[in-house]
């Protein structure tokens, strides 16, 4: 992760409203009820975006309590006395809203058309470590100084793998490792998630690790499922501060941890909303002060720009919104068309919540910056359950290519989409190579760097081999014991 990370992120919510109000409407139809109560805090939803069964049995029962409509343990709605009802809409209106989805939602979703995958290894060759006796549950893979660092099997340990892919312990922490920021050749700041379960337990930490002595120092603790930490001197006092993504569950947020003169840290929220998935630090407005841009993946999914106010805080601005059903997983800012402006590459595909079906709008997107971070979609390629994208010139021909992983791929029909290398042949046109990596694992995290020192970018893929099976009657057919694989780039001879 910067894996997502990602990660490998698990447990996004589909909140459909912002909670109860005291007002009701006079006999609105179903579409009006949806516009009023299901679109106040995020992009509007439409019945055709999910199938009928998913709406009726999963998403709407999960939405109802958020709007003040009580449900039984089986997800059935019930009405309370009028003088006790504190809901956003009446029970009759809720019944009408449900009927609207039942009438208009399709029985199933059609797969989105896409250019056929080219089945080859393209510019890559496979390298792999020895298999481990236990199932691989890798939560982080990152390159650094000729080594691969990993977190795996729910252990509170940071591991290091040398060039021969032999493992050693780099540090012992308090919970599973999901991200590392390497601030020097011998120093890492490691994010530990606290718990892999989708619960609001404030036991995650951000910890400084001396890679020579294995000594640790806590920067921030009592965090709810943090998944990434990024450095910057945000108050320009000469000391390194940290922006932290607290993904959380129902709680969480984006946080700033400020280093004090005595070396301690004070942590404060920048945006106290769950779903902080990934953050990038840069001077986006070119005023000499570091800003940040963060992806949020709960309810009101989107990209927020936080401009440094030069007073210890930030001014927030939403620059891109995505469907609340999108399952946003990663983004990268990079100049795709060489006009000097940062464009957006984005993946949508977390599928571990209430709507565990294949979705035709999951995949990898590119958006071109029209100026002032106003983005216009340029390209989309459907990838079921897309988890992360890395944009780089992998084949060294002068333009940006893409590498993607998909933790929730369609393993029954197109398992090869779990890793795709998109070779850019012309401006905005990518040839999708289905590099046959799917037999070696189920990829949840990814990193790219010149690992072998030959001048081109190699890729490492982390294998989270068990659990989260959304497809009935399907048994995993990938390797369950390999913690990761390396795709060694052969472009440079």
Confidence class for position 84, pLDDT limits 50, 70, 90: low
Query: What value does the mean pLDDT take over residues 132-157?
Result: 95
Rounding to the nearest 10 degrees, give the CA dihedral for residues 437, 160, 275, 386.
-10
Q: Does residue 151 contact residue 191 with C-beta atoms inside 8 Å? A: no
Query: What value does the mean pLDDT take over residues 44-59?
Result: 94
- How many angstroms separate the CA atoms of 58 and 121, rounded? 40
Residue 179 has pLDDT above 70, yes or no: yes
Residue 136 has pLDDT above 50, yes or no: yes
Strand partners, 13: none
pLDDT of residue 86: 76
Residue 1 has pLDDT above 50, yes or no: no
Confidence class for position 81, pLDDT limits 50, 70, 90: low
Confidence class for position 16, pLDDT limits 50, 70, 90: very low
pLDDT of residue 48: 96
How would you label 55-64 residue by residue, b for 16+ Cβ within 10 Å and e otherwise?
Answer: bbebbbbbbb
pLDDT of residue 40: 64
Domain map (residue ranges) of the chain: 43-78+88-108, 118-489
pLDDT of residue 74: 80
Q: How far is CA 157 from the centre of its chain?
A: 22
pLDDT of residue 82: 59
Lowest mean pLDDT among 16-30, 441-455, 461-475: 16-30
- How many angstroms separate the CA atoms of 332 and 327, rounded? 16
Q: Which of 3-7, 30-34, 63-67, 215-219 has the highest mean pLDDT?
A: 215-219
Residue 471 has pLDDT above 60, yes or no: yes
pLDDT of residue 493: 57
- How many angstroms separate the CA atoms of 229 and 226, rounded? 8
pLDDT of residue 352: 87
Q: Is the pTM of this model over 0.85?
A: yes
Per-residue model confidence as pLDDT tens digits over 337-384: 999 999 999 999 999 888 999 999 999 999 999 999 999 999 999 999
Residue 147 has pLDDT above 90, yes or no: yes
pLDDT of residue 24: 44
CATH number of the structural domain 118-489: 2.130.10.130
- How many angstroms separate the CA atoms of 38 and 173, rounded? 42
Nearest to 326 by CA among 365, 292, 369: 365
pLDDT of residue 459: 98
pLDDT of residue 103: 95
- How many angstroms separate the CA atoms of 223 and 479, rounded? 34
Per-residue model confidence as pLDDT tens digits over 214-266: 999 999 999 999 999 999 999 999 999 999 999 999 999 999 999 999 999 99
pLDDT of residue 80: 74
Query: What value does the mean pLDDT take over residues 263-282?
Result: 97
pLDDT of residue 386: 98
Per-residue model confidence as pLDDT tens digits over 323-335: 999 999 999 999 9
Confidence class for position 7, pLDDT limits 50, 70, 90: very low
Q: Quick one: what percent of the chain has pLDDT higher than 70?
A: 92
Residue 417 has pLDDT above 70, yes or no: yes
Half-sphere exposure of 363 (CA within 13 A, CB side): 17
pLDDT of residue 85: 62
């Amino acid at each position: 992760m910067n894996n997502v990370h990602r990660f490998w992120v698990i447990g996004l919510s589909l909140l459909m409203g912002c909670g109860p109000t005291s007002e009701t409407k006079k006999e609105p139809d179903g579409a009006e009820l949806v516009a009023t109560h299901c679109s106040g805090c995020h992009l509007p939803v439409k019945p055709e975006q999910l199938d009928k069964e998913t709406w009726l049995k999963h998403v709407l029962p999960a939405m109802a309590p958020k709007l003040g409509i009580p449900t039984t343990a089986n997800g059935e709605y019930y009405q309370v006395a009028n003088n006790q009802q504190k809901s956003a809409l009446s029970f009759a209106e809720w019944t009408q809203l449900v009927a609207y989805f039942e009438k208009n939602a399709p029985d199933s979703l059609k797969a989105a058309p896409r250019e056929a995958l080219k089945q080859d290894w393209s510019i890559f060759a496979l390298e792999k470590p020895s298999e481990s006796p236990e199932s691989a549950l890798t939560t982080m893979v990152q390159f650094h100084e000729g080594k691969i660092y990993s977190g795996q099997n729910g252990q509170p340990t940071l591991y290091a793998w040398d060039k021969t892919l032999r493992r050693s312990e780099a540090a012992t922490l308090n919970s599973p490792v999901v991200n590392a920021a390497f601030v020097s050749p011998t120093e890492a700041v490691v994010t530990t998630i606290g718990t892999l379960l989708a619960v609001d337990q404030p036991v995650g930490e951000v910890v400084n690790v001396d890679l020579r002595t294995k000594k640790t120092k806590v920067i921030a603790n009592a965090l709810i499922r943090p998944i990434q930490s990024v450095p910057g001197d945000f108050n320009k006092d000469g000391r390194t501060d940290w922006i932290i993504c607290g993904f959380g569950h129902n709680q969480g947020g984006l946080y700033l941890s400020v280093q004090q003169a005595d070396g301690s840290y004070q942590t404060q929220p920048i945006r106290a909303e769950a779903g902080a998935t990934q953050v990038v630090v840069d001077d986006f407005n070119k005023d000499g002060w570091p800003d940040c841009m963060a992806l949020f993946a709960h309810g009101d999914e989107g990209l927020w720009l936080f401009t440094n106010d030069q007073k210890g805080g930030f001014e927030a601005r939403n620059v891109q919104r995505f469907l609340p059903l999108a399952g946003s997983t990663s983004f990268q800012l990079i100049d795709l068309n060489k006009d000097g402006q940062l464009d957006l590459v984005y993946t949508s595909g977390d599928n571990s919540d209430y709507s565990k079906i294949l979705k035709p709008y999951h995949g990898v997107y590119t958006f071109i910056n029209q100026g002032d971070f106003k983005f216009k979609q340029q390209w989309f390629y459907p990838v079921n359950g897309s988890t992360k994208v890395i944009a780089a010139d992998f084949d060294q021909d002068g333009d940006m290519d893409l590498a993607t992983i998909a933790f929730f791929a369609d393993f029954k029909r197109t398992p090869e989409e779990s890793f795709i290398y998109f070779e850019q042949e012309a401006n905005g046109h990518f040839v999708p190579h289905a590099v046959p990596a799917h037999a070696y694992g189920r990829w949840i995290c990814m990193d790219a760097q010149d690992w072998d020192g030959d001048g081109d970018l190699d890729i490492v893929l982390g294998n989270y081999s068990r659990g989260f099976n959304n497809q009935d009657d399907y048994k995993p057919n990938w390797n369950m014991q390999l913690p990761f694989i390396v795709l060694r780039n052969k472009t440079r001879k």
